[in-house]
Amino acid sequence: MAHVHHFSYGPLTPVSAYVMSFVGSFLGLLCMTRARASTGRSRASWLSLAALAIGGTGIWVMHFIAMLGFSVSGMPIRYNVPVTLLSCLTAVVVVAVGLFILGFGGSGPGVIVTGGLVMGIGVVSMHYSGMAAMNMSGDIGYQPALVALSVVIAVVAATAALWFCVRVKGLWATCGAALIMGVAVTGMHYTGMAAMRITMDPAMPAPSGATASDFLIPLIGGIAVVSITLLIIIAMAPSEDEIRADAEFQQRIAARQAEAAAPGAPATPGAPEASRTRPP
C-alpha cells in the first residue's frame, strides 16, 4: 500500500480549506436570509446565488485547496478536467435542490431535515466525484466504515447549519451556521480521504491530466470574482428586517386609505362640510 500524505504543507492547506468553506457558506447563507424575505422569482434567484456560493466556493473550491496538500510517495497525481468540472456542477445543482426544498417548503423540522439530507448528499457527491477524477499509477479503494461516517458527518452538520440559519435570526446566527457548515464540508472531506486506500501498480502508464496546482490560479480568480460579486449584490439588496419594515409600512398606509374611503368615515380635518351649507 502506498504511503499517503494529507498535509504536505502542514496546517496551511486544512486551515485555508476551512476558511474557504466558511466564506462560501457565509455568503450562501446570507443569500438565504434574503431569500426568506422575498417571494416568487426573486426568492428563486437568491436561492440560486446561495447554491453557487455554497456548492461552488464553499465545497468545490475548498476541496481543491485541501487537495493541494495531498500527495502519494513516488506517485504523480493528475486530474481529469471534464470530470473535475462535472463535480463542481454536481455540487451546485444538488445543493440548489436542498435549498429550494427549504426555501419553498417552509421551516418545519421535516423540511429542514430533508434539505439537510440533500445538501449533505451534495457535499458527499462532490467529494467522491472529484476523487473519481483523480488519475494515478495505482488502484484506489475505500474503507466502507469511514465512507459511511463521512456521509453521516456531512448530513448531520448540514442539517444543523440549516436549522441554525432558519430558526435563529441575525448576522451572528448566520455566522454560526456558516462555521457549522464549514465543519460539515471539511470534516467530511478529511474523513473521506482517511477512508481511501491506494495500491501502487508500476505496470500502469504515467497518468495524464492536470495537476492540483493547475487549478490554483483559476480558483483564486474565480473566488475573487464570485465573492466580490455576491458581496456587492448582498450589500445593495435590502435586508430581511428592511423588507419586513417596508411591508408593515405599506400595510399601514393601505389600512388608513381603506378607513378614509369607508362610508361614514369622519371628514378630513379642515375640509368643508356640505351638511352645514345652507342655501340663501
- Give residue 277's pLDDT: 43
- Give residue 242's pLDDT: 60
- Rounded CA-CA distance 95/1 in Å is 35
* Tens-place pLDDT, residues 168-206: 777 888 888 889 888 888 988 999 888 888 887 777 777
- Give residue 122's pLDDT: 85
Query: Among 100, 94, 161, which residue's Cα sits nearest to residue 126?
Result: 94
- Give residue 244's pLDDT: 65
Is this structure's pTM higher than 0.85?
no
DSSP tally for the chain: helices H, then strands E: 9, 6
- Rounded CA-CA distance 85/277 in Å is 82
pLDDT-flagged residues of the chain (< 50): 268, 270-280
Please state the φ and ψ torsions of residue 142, each to the nearest 5 degrees. -135, 145
Domain boundaries, the chain: 4-247
- Rounded CA-CA distance 14/271 in Å is 73
- Give residue 5's pLDDT: 74
Residue listed under C-alpha cell 460539515: 184
Q: Are 100 and 143 in contact (CB under 8 A)?
A: no
β 196-200/78-79 pair status: unpaired
Residue 49 host element (H or E): helix 40-51
